[in-house]
Amino acid sequence: MARATLTWLAMLGASSLLLAGCDGNNFGDPGATPLAFGETCGSIQQELNRLLGRGVQSSVERQNAGKPISPAARADVDRYNALLNQYLGARCHV
């Protein structure tokens, strides 16, 4: 009898944990990061597009491949990555 009760309690506990994971709460998700004063998703996207127009994508690929890039290109890559992190963190893409 005791073993059946323990088994039933274990199954009940496991099923309640599974159901708790499906309740829609995202406990690990901190939510959208607020943008700095004066920044909008549109302004960040404009600057990202400007950098892409200047060829920052090839610099990013060169840096990721371990190839040397100029200090100016490195500054553009760093700015692009920072803007992309802001853009994605603020959930501008959704």
32: in domain: no
C-alpha span between 28 and 30 (Å, rounded): 6
46: in domain: yes
45: in domain: yes
- Domain residue limits at 75: 39-94
69: in domain: yes
25: in domain: no
Categorize the per-residue pLDDT at 23 as very low, low, confident or very high, splitting at 50, 70 and 90. low
**Percent of the chain scored above 90 by pLDDT?**
57
> pTM value?
0.67
Count of other CB atoms within 10 angstroms of residue 44: 20
- How many domains is the chain partitioned into structurally? 1
Q: Is the separation of the CB atoms in 32 and 89 below 8 Å?
A: yes
At 37, list the tokens.
Answer: 């004063």
The long-range contacts involving 69-76, CB below 8 angstroms and separated by at least 24 positions, are 76/51
28: in domain: no
User: Which tens digits make up the pLDDT trace of 33-64?
Assistant: 889 889 999 999 999 999 999 999 999 999 99
Mean pLDDT score of the chain: 81
88: in domain: yes
61: in domain: yes
Is the pLDDT at 9 greater than 60? The verdict is no
